[in-house]
Structure 1
Amino acid sequence: MTVAQSRVRSRPTRSDRPSRPVWEEPPTRLGRAAKGVLVGVVLLAVLFPLWVVVLTSVSPSPAITRAGGLVVVPDGFTTAAYAELLSGGVVTRSVLVSTGITVVGTLFSTIITLLAAYGLSRPGSFAHRPLLFVVLLTFLFGPGLIPTYLLVQSLGLLDTYAALVLPGAVAAFNLVVLRSFFMNIPQDLVDSARIDGANDLGVLTRIVLPLSKGVTAVIALFYAVGYWNAFFNAFLYLNSTEKWPLQLVLRAYVLQGQPIPGASPADSTLDGSGGLVATLAVKMAVVVIAVVPVLLVYPFVQKHFTKGVIVGAIKG
């Protein structure tokens, strides 16, 4: 064996190199076991309530009666609660209202936040420092409930869907996050676009937004979840029950214990097997309808939480 061959063989291969920093101690068996137990406990704490809610919503009335309330072990299956809720009644209407408010509000808030964040991120923009100071001031001082209500009333927005969107159209936190991201975009890209004749709108749409897909998706998700789960503004500003979003209906069913109009206190309607649908199953079905859309959307946006912070970085 030559000296060169011995040197090549003595070099550590990629598989021999440590996969962790040299200052970090290798994990012990007890540490790995403890981490596994902790993750399992957290996962159980998250999934068990969801399991109980979903299972109760699809359980017939006798199974709920035998369980004494919430069902933990499957004992029969029926979708009568969902059929009753989505048969064109108040829940169906509230789902359509919440969907419309979420879509329109998310688009409006995201567009306004993008425009404001881009303007505040440009050093030469008009009055960007005073406007930024006003935005940051909202972190310390809120307008208050009564002044906000009086403002909405004076603008004639009471009992309108605009009252659910306009008062909270721009979140200061989301605006600051987008502004910080826009400021990290290389100025050379912006200057090259301006040399090619692009105006501010062209720079925003052709340069800034393509580099900001990740963070924009995250901000849009924040707005969408906020509009979907919001009920307090609707509770304050909406007087007509037919305009209620899903969260207000959920509050009426679950917190106040109000059954479906026309139903008895214990039961509401017949299920597929001829039995009665328990009010508890209807309540849990409303909870599922309110929670599932967010659970379905989140996995498609989750990857952007980590990608959004590195997209647009200078590659050397």
Structure 2
Amino acid sequence: MRISRGERLFVGFNYAALTLLGLLCIAPFINIFAQSLSGHYAIVSGQVGMLPVDPTLQAYDKVFQDKTFLMSMGISIMRTGVGVALSVLLTVLMAYPLSKPYIKGRSVIMFLLVFSMLFGSGMIPNYLLNKSLGLLDTFWVMVIPTLIAGFHVIIVRSFFQNVPGELEESARIDGCGNLGILFRIVFPLSMPVIATIALFKAVVHWNAFFDAVLYINNQDLMPLQVYLRNLIMMNASMINTGDIRMDEELIANESLKAAALFTSMIPILIVYPFLQKYFVKGMLIGSVKG
């Protein structure tokens, strides 16, 4: 089939427009990376654009010597790992029975899920609830309140409804129970939607900071995003490198901020490529059937 000249021009325009938009989206990240590698005088004189000027790794050296930064990074990694694992497990356990038409009362539960998506309790009731449960100033206050999301349960439930019933019947004939069918048959077939939900939760946990600001006073439990927030608000003066003092004549505050910001993006950038191939498929299949 021959493509007309107008169609070729249209396709070329689309590629050019999408390339331009992609470059505009990635430009801030390139600029941050360039600032993190640039020298003090190049930054304060405004010479840094998309490429480093007077390249140096001193900013990264200072950031990685900051014990508070490393502790916050560890808290965020642990929060993301534990939060994603528990959220995926509970979402699957809730979505699987809701996908079965013979389960009584599932319409009521679905109504409650949709209701929770439309109406929230508010900041003060959430604070009082977490306080009454004894979760304030603990690691679990950042994990437990966000374990179940109604939107995610609906997506996974829709995906489970598309799994052929013959597979479950065969497994049941072979002696599998409900949990065996779920984790041996359904779960492996549902990796696209599972990876999609895991990516959603990972991004939410990694970027979250407001719940930690509200519910946590212990500085040892502050996640990385709170550290970055404080770093920017305090103009990089909070960086503590132990016995090594910051030399303001050699390292610009903007370089330290940029190094901390860029380093905070690395873990999620490493995880994303492994889950991205499942992302589109999981969203499409999980939303076909309600």
Q: With the length of structure 2 as denominator, give the TM-score of the two structures.
A: 0.90
Distance 1:152 1:281, change over 3 A: same
1:283 to 250, 257, 279: 257
Single out whichever of 30-39 and 212-221 deviates more from structure 2.
30-39
Q: Report the count of equivalent residues.
A: 283
Single out whichever of 220-229 and 58-67 deviates more from structure 2.
58-67
Aligned match of 1:56: 35
Aligned match of 1:15: none
Q: CA contact under 8 A between 1:63 and 1:71: conserved in structure 2?
A: no
In structure 2, what is the Cα distance between the partners aligned to 1:219 and 1:51? 29
Question: 1:294 Cα deviation (Å)?
Answer: 1.7
Q: CA contact under 8 A between 1:80 and 1:270: conserved in structure 2?
A: no
User: Is 1:301 the equivalent of 2:278?
Assistant: no
Question: 1:172 Cα deviation (Å)?
Answer: 1.1
- Residues 149-203 of structure 1: CA distance to partner in whole angstroms, max 9, x if unpaired? 1100111110101000011111111111000000111111112211222111011
Note the residue ranges of structure 2 that are not aligned, 5 or more in a row: none
Aligned match of 2:19: 40
Q: Which has the higher contact order (CA 8 A, sep 6+)?
A: 2
Q: Give, as a single letter, the amino acid of the residue that structure 1 aligns with 2:279.
A: F
RMSD over aligned CA atoms reads: 2.3
Question: 1:74 Cα deviation (Å)?
Answer: 2.6
User: Is 1:30 the equivalent of 2:9?
Assistant: yes
Q: Give, as a single letter, the amino acid of the residue that structure 1 aligns with 2:274.
A: F
Answer 1 or 2: which has greater helix percent.
2
Matching of residues 180-259 of structure 1 within 5 Å: 180-259=158-237
Distance 1:35 1:202, change over 3 A: same
In structure 1, what is the Cα distance between the partners aligned to 2:216 and 2:57? 31
Single out whichever of 167-176 and 283-292 deviates more from structure 2.
283-292
- Residues 3-38 of structure 1: CA distance to partner in whole angstroms, max 9, x if unpaired? xxxxxxxxxxxxxxx388xxxx77434323422331
Q: CA contact under 8 A between 1:55 and 1:74: conserved in structure 2?
A: yes
1:137 to 91, 95, 115: 115
- Residues 78-136 of structure 1: CA distance to partner in whole angstroms, max 9, x if unpaired? 11111111114211110011001111111111101010011211222353222121111
In structure 1, what is the Cα distance between the partners aligned to 2:196 and 2:129? 30
Q: CA contact under 8 A between 2:68 and 2:240: conserved in structure 1?
A: no
In structure 2, what is the Cα distance between the partners aligned to 1:277 and 1:204? 55
Aligned match of 2:83: 105
Distance 1:27 1:119, change over 3 A: farther
Q: With the length of structure 1 as denominator, give the TM-score of the two structures.
A: 0.83
Q: CA contact under 8 A between 1:64 and 1:71: conserved in structure 2?
A: no
